[in-house]
Amino acid sequence: MSNQIFMATSINTAGKSAGNSIRRDLSFYDATIGKKAVMAATGVILFGFVLVHLVGNLQIFLPPDAKGIFKIDEYGKFLHSMPAVLWGARSVLIAAVMLHIWSSISLARMQRRARPTAYVKKNNAHSTYASRTMMLSGPIVACFIMYHLLHFTGGQVHPNYIETAVHHNVIRGLQEWPAAIFYIVAIMLLGTHLYHGLWSMLQSLGVSHPSYTPMLKASAKVFAFLIVVGNISIPISILLGIVK
């Protein structure tokens, strides 16, 4: 936004010329609220994926059928049997991740510009730890996702990767305790990210009302908790030898 636009808007307050200084192309993604709307929309997509991903993963707990084939292996085969759908979904997810990260970086840069000098003393007693550390939990979860893809999707960092043998790959991969610990920590950080993000994205899109906001805030916390418990149960059961 040029300085010229700013001058026109601040001096001509009478209506017409001030109105003409608005440029729609500038006013959406250039505006912080536009960027937050993009973060919220991509956040919804990513949360939807996390939910479906968890339901798929929980099949690790199902026993093999009479022929000794694990349910999760069949599920993997099923997903790979429709490459168009699989790659369609992957493209949407990659685009959502990139937009989410790109918007967060440009917003963070504006924040630093907004307060370059820190307070000598600052008391943040009223906000949650989760809400103040989104720019820490986010990047760590992003690194985890890269590792997770190389671990179970590509197999490059897996000790004994066998293509399509999902059950074997998961059990073998998470029997290594450093990997399992990283999974547990990353899932907990994803939980804190969702603890704030699931409600925050609604506020960013303008969804707020005294009659349902308390319910939305509570559901956000319940969902974040369920995502953590569901996901964390997998590395823990494997570490403890409950699932083999």
Partner 1 sequence: MKLTLHIWRQRSTSEKGRMVSYEMADANEHMSFLEMLDVLNEQLIGRGDDPVAFDHDCREGICGSCGFMINGIAHGPRSGTTICQLHMRHFKNGDELWLEPWRATAFPIVKDLAVNRSAFDRIIQAGGYITTPTGNAIDGNAIAIPKEDSERAMDAAACIGCGACVAACPNASASLFTGAKISHLGLLPQGQPERNGRALRMVQIAQEETFGNCTNIGECEAVCPKNISLEVIARMNRDFLRGSFLWRSGSGGDGG
Residues near partner 1, by CB under 8 A:
1, 5-6, 9-11, 13, 15-16, 18-22, 24, 26-28, 30-37, 107, 110-111, 113-128, 131-132, 134, 196, 199-200, 203-210, 213
Q: Which is nearer to partner 1, 67 or 113 (CB)?
A: 113
Residue 187 CB, shortest distance to partner 1, in Å, is: 23
Q: Which is nearer to partner 1, 63 or 116 (CB)?
A: 116
Residue 92 CB, shortest distance to partner 1, in Å, is: 22
Q: Which is nearer to partner 1, 57 or 213 (CB)?
A: 213
Contact (Cβ atoms closer than 8 angstroms) between residue 180 and residue 242: no
Alpha carbon distance, N-terminus to C-terminus of the chain? 59
Contact (Cβ atoms closer than 8 angstroms) between residue 9 and residue 21: yes
Residue 110 CB, shortest distance to partner 1, in Å, is: 6
CA atoms within 13 A on the CB side of 6: 3
Cα dist. 14→1, 8, 9, 85, 124 in Å? 21, 11, 10, 54, 40
Q: Which residues are CB-neighbours of 28 under 8 A, at least 6 positions away?
A: 34
CA atoms within 13 A on the CB side of 51: 12
Q: Which is nearer to partner 1, 104 or 233 (CB)?
A: 104
Contact (Cβ atoms closer than 8 angstroms) between residue 35 and residue 29: yes
Q: Is residue 205 helix, strand or coil?
A: coil
Residue 168 CB, shortest distance to partner 1, in Å, is: 42
Residue 212 CB, shortest distance to partner 1, in Å, is: 12
Positive or negative: CA dihedral 118, 128, 36, 44: positive
Q: Which is nearer to partner 1, 81 or 127 (CB)?
A: 127
Amino acid at 229: V
Residue 50 CB, shortest distance to partner 1, in Å, is: 20
Q: Which is nearer to partner 1, 66 or 125 (CB)?
A: 125
Chain centroid, CA 238 distance in Å: 25
